[in-house]
Amino acid sequence: MIVYCYMYSNKNIKKVNKKFVVISAIIIAIVVTFITLEKTGVTTIFIKETETAVIDNGINLSPPTEEERSAGDLQKESIISQEKENIEKPSSSKDDVAVVIVDAAQYEEVVEVRAFASNVVEKGICTFTFSNAEYQIINTTPAIEDASTTPCMTLSINRAEFQSSGTWKLIVSYKNQSRSGSASSLVEIK
């Protein structure tokens, strides 16, 4: 009878060990799954909302700030007014290129301008002229045609090049050997 009790208790221990191993494996699998989902960004259970603004290779992937939204809204209004002006004014043979300023705003210590010639597909030069009551800044970039437009290379200017803060008038001009055009916008420099 002693032998039987010893064998019976040994079987119970084996059953308990098997249950423990199975439960441990399930818990480990769940933990590994949650960690993987967190690391890949599928879930944000353990990450605070402020930690989700990841900057990858210098690109801020967080939602736009109120300042960026305002700059975008102003630029949209400017584009709409430019489009109305382009429709209303008759085009001449040489000055008939419709230039569109997509974005012109200050982002921290850099002022960026993005523009394109919408009705021409030819290489050219884009001239960016910033001016206020006292100063003028002129820069050029190449304009390289793509499938349906001719974008100007993005202009990035260090804020330090602007001698004063305030509202600056921006004129973006496109010119190639036979055609030209321009558009204007206002840029707030802080």
Q: Which residues contact 107 (CB under 8 A, 6 or more apart)?
A: 68
State mean pLDDT over 131-135.
Answer: 92
pLDDT classification of 13: cutoffs 50, 70, 90:
low
DSSP secondary structure string for all residues of 121-166: -S-EEEEEEEE-SS-EEEEEEEE---SS-EEBPPEEEEGGGSSS-E
Structure confidence at residue 40 (pLDDT): 79
* Whether residues 76 and 101 fall in one domain: yes
pLDDT in tens, 56-109: 556 677 788 888 888 888 888 888 877 777 655 554 456 789 999 999 999 999
φ, ψ at 17 (rounded to 5°): -65, -40
pLDDT classification of 42: cutoffs 50, 70, 90:
confident
**Of 4 and 125, the one with more pLDDT:** 125
* Whether residues 16 and 88 fall in one domain: no
Q: Hey, which residues does 115 pair with through a beta bridge? A: 101
DSSP secondary structure string for all residues of 6-54: HHHHHHHHHHHHHHHHHHHHHHHHHHHHHHHHHHHTS--SSS-GGGG--
Boundary residue ending a domain (56, 77, 97): 56
Structure confidence at residue 125 (pLDDT): 96
* Whether residues 48 and 75 fall in one domain: no
Structure confidence at residue 189 (pLDDT): 92
* Whether residues 128 and 179 fall in one domain: yes
The domain in which residue 147 lies consists of 64-189
Q: How many CA atoms within 13 Å lie on the side-chain side of 100?
A: 16
State mean pLDDT over 167-177.
Answer: 95
φ, ψ at 51 (rounded to 5°): -80, -10
Q: State how many domains the chain has.
A: 2
Which SS3 state, helix, strand or coil, does residue 140 take? strand
pTM over 0.75: no
Q: What is the CATH number for 113? A: 2.60.40.10
- Mean pLDDT over all residues of the chain? 82
* Whether residues 86 and 110 fall in one domain: yes
Q: Which amino acid is at 140?
A: T
d(CA 189, CA 57): 26
